[in-house]
Amino acid sequence: MIPSNIKALILDMDGVIWKGDAPIGDLPATFKRIRERGLRFVFATNNGTKTPEDYQEKLAELGVDVEPSQVITSALGVAFMLAQKHPRGTKVFMIGENGIRVALEEKGFEVVDVEDAPQAEAVVMGIDRGINFQKMAEATLLVRAGCPFYTTNTDRTFPTPRGEIPGSGSWLSVVTSATGIEPLVAGKPFPYLMELALERLGTAKEETLVVGDRLETDIAAGQAVGCSTAFVLSGVSKREEAKDWNPSIIAESLSALVA
């Protein structure tokens, strides 16, 4: 099912590799086939709550051995984006979890807590399951005062074993509504994360297939950078929605795609 010109895969995780906490299909067998075909691969996820090392550990538990450099998160993307625009030592007010904090600190930024938010020189928002009114108020005040404003992603929902809960985009809409200002976005469907992935792979866009389960993020991001796209039906979006997005390939799962 994968075209012969494809040399590499950019893989989403939630809805492609696992759903909730359960693996989708026989992952060791699937990745054995991927490697036997000589395909390079990286993971690119809008979920910035974890570090690449966290994901490496989770994948290993499911029988898939990868290097941290093969995992690109929206947290990593937003840290790279800030590093292009702000010097090391810049104070950043962050609404997010450990994955974002680690990525920012590794790039030399000083993450300030809500009590010290007025000192911040930039604002970064992502999914934060400990969010509260004070955090939202401080972010709003900073953005209204002119602080550069970034987000990991605009996903409206976030997958959990019990179902979808409000994602980064849902909380982000509170700040954008209160300020009238839109953030710069690192994650899918915007192209930045895909460009990082292509750089890691060392392949041309024409040789790279983007695989995902969300049409409005994964497939749209692949199309934004000119890659072929494979929509898998193992996650969020439904087959009947695909006609509005026209993915290159539709498959039941990653396993079926590489069979």
Taking the C-alpha atoms of residue 71 and residue 55, their distance in angstroms, rounded to an integer, is 7
The secondary structure of 181-248 as a DSSP string is -PPEE-STTSTHHHHHHHHHHT--GGGEEEEES-IIIIIHHHHHTT-EEEEETTSSS-GGGGGGT--S
- 12 assigned to active site: yes
- 116 assigned to active site: no
Nearest C-alpha neighbor of 110 from the set 99, 120, 97: 120
Q: What is the dihedral of CA 146, 147, 152, 158, to 10 degrees?
A: -70
CA 116 to chain centroid: 28
Q: Which residues are known catalytic residues? A: 12, 14
